[in-house]
Chains A and B, each alone.
Chain A
C-alpha cells in the first residue's frame, strides 16, 4: 500500500554544493546572448512559402480531379475542363509572377511536388499567368529541364507573357489577344486555335503551327518546320510572311 504523502526530500545541501548547483557553467555566454532580431527576410520567406503551399495544393487538387490515374489525354474537352478547375483554385490565391516562376521550378523538385504531368501543369501555369495581378510576366525558365506544354493558353488581351527558355507542345493555344514571347524554341501545335494577339518565337518552331488559328499573328525568328491548317491570321518566318500569301501546304517541311 502506498503512503498517502510522499517522503519529503531533504532540501538541505552543503553550502559549497548549493552554490555549485545554482551556478550556470555557461554564465559567461549569457551576457552576450545577442537577441536574434526578426529580419524582414524571415517574413518575406515565410509568406513566399505559404503562397507556394497554396499554389501547390491547387495543382494537386487539379491532378486529383483531372488526372486520377496520372494519365491525361490532350483533347479539346479535357483542356477546357482542366482549365476551369485550375481557374477555380487559382482565383483563391494571392500571388505574384515570381511565385509562378518558383512553382515551375518546384514542379521539377519531386520532393516537393510528386507528379509533373506536363498537360495539367501547363494548363495550371497558364491559369496562374492569366489571373496574375501583373500585366507583364517574365518567367526565367531556361534552366528548367522539362519543356512545359500548353503554356500561354487563353492569354487575354492586355497581358504580356515572356518566357526565357524553350516551351513544349501546344504553346499559346487559344490565345485571346495577349502577347506571348518565347526567347527559345517552341514545339508542335504552337498557336493552334488562337483567336487574336501575338506570339513571338525567337528561335525555331515545330509542326502544325497555327492549326485552326482564327486570328492574330505568329512571328518566328528561326525556322518553321510546318504549318497547320490555318483559317485566318498571319505567320511570319524571319520577317517574311509565309501565311497567307505564298500557298503552303500543311506541315510542309522546309
Chain B
C-alpha cells in the first residue's frame, strides 16, 4: 500500500524534478517494496534510501517509512532524487571520471576499500553541494534528520560550514579533538571546480584518512560492514556496460601507464566481472578466468585509434547470409544480434549473434583480406606486461582495423622461434584470443622460422602481412628472401635505426608491395603507422603529399 503511495508521490514530483535538473534523460524512478517486518527481511538494505542501477533510480520504501516521522515523505523522496540525478548530471558524470577520482584517492589512502569509500564520500559532497548551490533542494533537511556515524557527523559539520545552513550538529560534537581541524581543511577544497577534482580529492583523502582508517579498524574488530550510506552505495552500478566500456577506453588513453590501469582494473575486478568482463572464452560467457588487465589495457587503448584500410578486389565474392550462431561479447556490434534466440536481451552469456557466411557469387567485389601479423617479442623489445609496448599497441590497432572490416587475423609471435620461442594463432576473429597472443612475451633471441609462416600464407589468395620488429633478427636474410617471393601487401614496421633495418630496407626497396616504416621513437608507432598505412592503402593521398 505504502509502496503505491510512494510511487504516486514520485509520479507527482517527477516532472518538477526533471524540469529543475533541465530534463535529464533518466527514466521515472521506482519504489522498492517494503519488506514484511514479521518475516524479518530487508534489514540489510534498510539504511540505504536510494539505489541506482544503470540509469534506473529506485527509492527504498523502508527507508522513507523510517524517515517519515522526522520529515514528510515527499520531501525525503525529493531530496534523494535530487541527489541521485546530480550524480548523472554533475558528479561523477561518467565512469571515466569515477575511475580517475578513485585512482587519485588510492594514491593517498593506499587501500582499495578505503579508496572506494573515499571517492564515494567525495562524490556525495560534490553532488550535494552542487544541488544546494544551483537548485532548491530538500537535501539540507534530509541531512539534518539522517542518523549519523562519526564520518557522517564530520561531513555534516563540513556542510554547515560550506553551505552556511544549520544542520543541527551540536557544538559539543564539533569541538571533538581533531574534528574541527579536519573540517577546516575540508572546507578549503573547491568542490565545484571540475578542473581541480584530481587535486581536490587528494586533499580530501589526506584530511579524512585518519577517520576512515579508525572506522575501518572499529568495523574490523566488530566484524561488521558498518553503516550504510543512505544516499546510495555501489556507485559502479550506476553505469551501463557501454559507459563502462567508454570509461575504460578513456582511462587507458589518459593514463597511458599500464601499471596504473592494471591497478584500477584489478581493484574493480569484481564489479567489472559483473559487467561481463574477463569471462571465459571472451567477454561475457559464463563464469571463469580472472580479468587480464594487460590485455584489457591494450584493447581499450587501441580502440582510441583507427586505421583506415583500402579494400582490394576479391574474386568470387558473393553476398553474406546468416549461417550459424555465436555468443555476443561486449564491444561487438549490435547489428548482427539475433533477437529471437537472445530472448530480446542484450546480456553477455545470453545474447547471440549471427555468424555470416559468404554465398557463392560471381564478379569482383571489394573486400578486406585477412591479415597475418608477425610480432617480435625478443629480449630487445619491451615486455608488454611490464610497461606500455608501442609494438603491441601498433599490432593491436592493425588487428582492430582488420576485424572491424570483417576479416580474420592470424598471429605469429616470435622470439627464438627455431628453439620453440613462438606462439601461433590461426586465423580467427576472436579479439581476446588475438590480444592474448600479442601480449605474450618470450624475451629471448630473435629468429624467425619460415616453416611456421609458410603454412599460414598458403591457400590464401589475398592476404596482408604486418610485421613489427626491431629487425635485429638473426636470420634476416631468410626473411628478406621470403618477402622477395610473395606478392602480398606487406607492412613492415621497425623500431629505431640499426644496420639490420638498413639492410632490410635496401634489400626490399624495389618491391612495390612492401612498405617500410621507421620509428625512431617508440612513442611514434601508433601515430606514424596509422598515417603511413593510410598513405600506403590510399595511393591518391600519396600523390597529393
Contact = CB atoms under 8 A, between A and B. Distances in A.
A39 B206 contact: no
Given A40-B164, A44-B187, A34 B206 contact: no
A39 B129 contact: yes
A37 B192 CA distance: 13
Secondary structure of the B contact surface, majority rule = helix
Contacts of B253: none
In this complex, the member of A37, A109, A138 whose beta carbon has the largest number of chain B beta carbons within 10 angstroms is A37
Contact of A36 (B134, B190, B191, B207): B134
B164 A39 contact: yes
A40 B133 CA distance: 10
B161 A98 contact: no
B252 to A, nearest CB: 24
A105 to B, nearest CB: 8
A39 B190 contact: no
B178 to A, nearest CB: 10
A102 B199 CA distance: 11
B185 A98 contact: yes
A208 B22 CA distance: 66
Contact of A44 (B107, B162, B207): B162
Contacts of A36: 133-134
B162 A32 contact: no
Given A34-B135, A41-B129, A44-B188, A143 B162 contact: no
A140 interface: yes
A143 B134 contact: no
A41 B108 contact: no
Contacts of B162: 39-41, 44
Contacts, number: 51
B163 interface: yes
A37 B187 contact: no
B264 interface: no
Interface string B197-223: 001001100110000000000000000
Contact of A98 (B188, B191, B192, B199): B188
A146 interface: no
Nearest to B20: A32
B184 interface: yes
B134 A102 contact: no
Interface of B: 19-20, 22, 107-108, 129, 132-136, 161-164, 181, 184-185, 187-193, 199, 202-203, 206-207
Interface of A: 29, 32, 34, 36-37, 39-41, 44-45, 48, 98, 102, 105, 109, 138, 140, 143
Would you list the 9 A-B pairs with minimal beta carbon distance, nearest first? A41-B162, A40-B164, A45-B190, A48-B188, A140-B206, A34-B135, A44-B187, A34-B136, A39-B133
22 contacts: A29-B22, A32-B19, A34-B135, A36-B134, A37-B132, A39-B132, A39-B162, A39-B163, A41-B187, A44-B161, A44-B162, A44-B187, A45-B188, A45-B190, A45-B193, A48-B188, A98-B188, A102-B203, A105-B199, A109-B199, A140-B206, A140-B207
